[in-house]
Structure 1
Amino acid sequence: MSDLLYSEIENDLRASVREVLDDKAPWTSVLAGTEKDEPYDAALWQAVAAQLGCAGLPVPEDLGGAGATWRETAVVMEELGRYAAPVPFLSASVIATAALMAAGERDLLAGLASGERIAVLAVPFSTAPGDAVAAARVEDGAVTGVVTSVADGMAADVFLVPAGDGLYAVDAAGVRRTAVTSLDMTRRLADVAFSGAPARRVGEGDGAVRAALLTGAAMLASEQLGLAERCLDDTVAYVKTRYQFGRPVGSYQGLKHRLADLWTSITQARAVARHAASRVAAGDAGDAGDAGTAIAVAVAQAHCSAVALKAAEECVQMHGGIGFTWEHPAHLYLKRAKADSLALGTPGHHRAALAALVDLPPA
């Protein structure tokens, strides 16, 4: 059984990341950024990825990384989830990094570890581990095809494209990208069209893509955990100070019970998210396809997606009228929670995958 407790190093890392986010990503700044054309917050990305060195946490030290594990990366994901931070960390520092580590690519991985480059796996954001992803074809060293709804596609410097039996690196400068109006404007989507774009094979495709998506789903559970915790904290703080009929609304039994149920669900979410992160961290990304890891990730996603969405809904409702306005951050959390619940496989998809993994009979 993996240790689900946070280490001293992980707690120190959390404190450092939260300090930066408190300074550079208050919800007012995040909200203002959703109304701009920039695909992500470049200054925040520089601070988190490069200055703190979070982009290269799981990358070996000889490639400029920190030589840590996916457990430490999961802690960063929790904090980014708390702030609905508009940075391409999940796309570049988790999914693309895991793909390159599994493929054995070194040169491009070093650029990602330093935060100088942003690579994105060119698959729809809804793609779950194990799904078929071949949406492009390669011929004579060039990639052709269209991939829709790519997360952080507008922010990418490099696309990692599954084509045929390989994974190919394509410079984004030669690719046509079209921004998509996204539900969650803190993590934007784009349609990407490859028209004979020059490509370099970086490794075998199927195994690298599966490892990347499985690792991404595990880390997404930690993001959902952080988001749910933020919603609960903000809601509890609000109901302590909002008075109605001469007493705090939080003193009413109906709200107490709802918040207690939510706290219990979040505690369970923390356990399954930590277990999934620990399973992925037990080996490199290329070994993430064993049944135990797949089971842990399916459980984490099936549970954490629902908990984050419920926490965000309760946050909106228990804030009353102000919670439904643009001038309050609750809608940012609700949109991120809903978008996350559709990303890398829906809860229903992961429950079905879990049933197959543990040989449950069909309903």
Structure 2
Amino acid sequence: MTSDLLYDEVDEELRATVRGLLAARSPWSAVLARTESPEPYDTKLWATLAGEMGLAGLPVPEDAGGAGATWRQVAVVLEELGSAVAPVPYLGSAVLATAALLVAAGESASPGAAEGAPPGAGAESASPAAAAEVRAAAELLARLASGERSAALVVPFSTTAGTALSPTVSAAGDTLDGTVTSVADAVTVDVLLVPTTDGLYAVDAAAAGVTRTPLSSLDMTRQVCDIGFASASGIALARGETAVRAVTTALTTGAALLASEQVGLAQWCLDSTVDYLKNRYQFGRKVGSFQALKHRLADLWTRVAQARAVARYAAASIGTDDAEVAAALAQSYCSETAVLAAEECVQLHGGIGFTWEHPAHLYLKRAKSAAIGLGTPDRHRAVLANLVNLPPA
């Protein structure tokens, strides 16, 4: 793994493209208006990001239908989506679901596969049932990468990477029964990736026996819902150790990359607060000239810079032996930094920062929600302590 965590030319070009699109199609005023509508998610923006721009397939190998980029490029996209609190299911579909499918289809899409071999080609050496599962995973992965379909990993949003998984959905043959609560980014997706007691299954979200019940979400730009399965028909994608590894890898990857979203959010809060204090006057002076406020902003700048370094390392570590440690470290630090930045944004904007008309509350709610998502900071610190063999106090 390279030790250079700086952004390269490709990263900056990607950032400029995504930022330009979000500025034109999803300014904070449009996001705020959408939260008050029956459709909080921006499905048209998602179609542009995933399909027209090909951002849903960034980490997917070219021979599997994707762009063949790295998770570091995905991290850049997430920074910009966090900066805009964009209401799209990128984390759920392009990160969590895609990471799980990459493992499930990995026998055919791994670097060791024959060059130019189509997805699913490496499954012939397995049993007929296992080969069918690999091909099903590869086909779904290609459809996600093209933007034709979207998916969500059906686990509670608070599930912590690195902890034991206990599926609440049972599978009898291809029939699924059970309920999963508080699933993020699943309200509008087409396919549900469901960890069960018998493996990982794909279920059509509109199929008979599937119910999605939206909940009152703290973060209005990332909804959660309860999902029920009553004799719902599913397609097996992986079983046994492969299924466990697919879900575990997805959660670790999601935690690592959620940190980049949190960095983007924190950077926006810092930048907007600095701009406000440069132009706001009290007692004939710019508010930004007050020493106490300078100290608070300097401390926040330091925290955001450190969080960026940690998040970049976590993104670069995906797929390496350091992935779990880096993800736990990133979430334990970046979650608290994002919340601090959002709180300072609200407070240092004064009275306007507490109003509904100002976007600060959108960022505070996203920061609070993300700090719970995929594990709270204290849970990640506990996971980190176990990973590095730190003895208990």
**Amino acid in the other structure paired with 1:129:** A
Task: Write the mapping of 1:192-231 to structure 2, written as runs, cut at 5 A.
Answer: 192-204=227-239, 205-231=243-269
Given the alignment of the two structures, is residue 23 of structure 1 paired with residue 24 of structure 2, yes or no? yes
Q: CA deviation at 1:39?
A: 4.7
Structure 1 counterpart of 2:359 = 329
Task: Return the alpha-carbon distance in structure 1 between the equivalents of residues 37 and 177 of structure 2.
Answer: 31
Task: Return the alpha-carbon distance in structure 2 between the equivalents of residues 117 and 350 of structure 1.
Answer: 32
Task: Return the alpha-carbon distance in structure 1 between the equivalents of residues 166 and 305 of structure 2.
Answer: 34
Task: Write the mapping of 1:142-153 to structure 2, written as runs, cut at 5 A.
Answer: 142-153=175-186
Task: Return the alpha-carbon distance in structure 1 between the equivalents of residues 63 and 38 of structure 2.
Answer: 37
Q: Is the 8 A contact 1:103 1:208 kept in 2?
A: yes
Structure 1 counterpart of 2:218 = 183
**Amino acid in the other structure paired with 1:18:** R
* Matched position secondary structure for 1:173: coil
Task: Write the mapping of 1:92-111 to structure 2, written as runs, cut at 5 A.
Answer: 92-104=93-105, 105-111=137-143
**Amino acid in the other structure paired with 2:350:** G
**Amino acid in the other structure paired with 2:178:** G
Q: Is the 8 A contact 2:162 2:324 kept in 1?
A: no
TM-score (norm 1): 0.96
Aligned partner of 2:335 among 305, 311, 314: 305
Structure 2 counterpart of 1:58 = 59
Q: Is the 8 A contact 1:56 1:64 kept in 2?
A: yes
Task: Return the alpha-carbon distance in structure 2 between the equivalents of residues 101 and 159 of structure 1.
Answer: 15
Q: CA deviation at 1:301?
A: 0.4
Q: Is the 8 A contact 2:335 2:370 kept in 1?
A: yes
Structure 2 counterpart of 1:139 = 172
TM-score (norm 2): 0.89
Task: Return the alpha-carbon distance in structure 1 between the equivalents of residues 364 and 270 of structure 2.
Answer: 12
**Amino acid in the other structure paired with 1:61:** E
- Spell out, residue by residue over 1:169-221, the C-alpha distance to the aligned partner (whole angstroms, 9 max, x if none): 01111211111000001000010000011111111321100000000001100
Aligned partner of 1:155 among 188, 191, 194: 188
Q: Is the 8 A contact 1:39 1:152 kept in 2?
A: no
Given the alignment of the two structures, is residue 296 of structure 1 paired with residue 326 of structure 2, yes or no? yes
Structure 1 counterpart of 2:373 = 343
**Amino acid in the other structure paired with 1:12:** E
Given the alignment of the two structures, is residue 257 of structure 1 paired with residue 257 of structure 2, yes or no? no
**Amino acid in the other structure paired with 1:123:** V
Structure 1 counterpart of 2:49 = 48
Q: Which has the larger radius of gyration?
A: 2
Q: CA deviation at 1:133?
A: 3.7
Q: CA deviation at 1:147?
A: 0.3
The count of corresponding residues between Structure 1 and Structure 2 is 355
Q: CA deviation at 1:161?
A: 0.5
Task: Return the alpha-carbon distance in structure 1 between the equivalents of residues 84 and 166 of structure 2.
Answer: 31
- Spell out, residue by residue over 1:269-305, the C-alpha distance to the aligned partner (whole angstroms, 9 max, x if none): 010000000001xx3xxxx6x3x21111111000000
Task: Return the alpha-carbon distance in structure 2 between the equivalents of residues 154 and 177 of structure 1.
Answer: 7
Q: CA deviation at 1:164?
A: 1.7
> Which aligned runs of 4 or more in structure 1 are off by greater than 6 angstroms?
none
**Amino acid in the other structure paired with 2:357:** E
Unaligned runs of 5+ in 1: none
* Matched position secondary structure for 1:19: helix
Query: What CA RMSD, in Å, does the superposition of the two structures yield over aligned residues?
Result: 1.0
Task: Write the mapping of 1:262-301 to structure 2, written as runs, cut at 5 A.
Answer: 262-280=300-318, 283=319, 290=321, 292-301=322-331
Task: Return the alpha-carbon distance in structure 2 between the equivalents of residues 144 and 258 of structure 1.
Answer: 52
Task: Return the alpha-carbon distance in structure 2 between the equivalents of residues 270 and 117 of structure 1.
Answer: 31
Structure 2 counterpart of 1:164 = 197
Given the alignment of the two structures, is residue 315 of structure 1 paired with residue 345 of structure 2, yes or no? yes
Aligned partner of 1:235 among 273, 294, 297: 273
Q: CA deviation at 1:154?
A: 1.1
Aligned partner of 1:126 among 158, 166, 172: 158
Task: Return the alpha-carbon distance in structure 2 between the equivalents of residues 154 and 136 of structure 1.
Answer: 18
Q: Is the 8 A contact 2:168 2:197 kept in 1?
A: no
**Amino acid in the other structure paired with 1:218:** A
**Amino acid in the other structure paired with 2:213:** T
**Amino acid in the other structure paired with 1:183:** L
Task: Return the alpha-carbon distance in structure 2 between the equivalents of residues 23 and 267 of structure 1.
Answer: 27
Task: Return the alpha-carbon distance in structure 1 between the equivalents of residues 5 and 64 of structure 2.
Answer: 29
Q: Is the 8 A contact 2:157 2:373 kept in 1?
A: yes
Q: CA deviation at 1:63?
A: 2.7
Task: Return the alpha-carbon distance in structure 2 between the equivalents of residues 353 and 31 of structure 1.
Answer: 36
- Spell out, residue by residue over 1:104-150, the C-alpha distance to the aligned partner (whole angstroms, 9 max, x if none): 12100011111121110110000011331411000021111000000
Task: Return the alpha-carbon distance in structure 2 between the equivalents of residues 113 and 119 of structure 1.
Answer: 11
Percent of aligned positions that are identical: 61
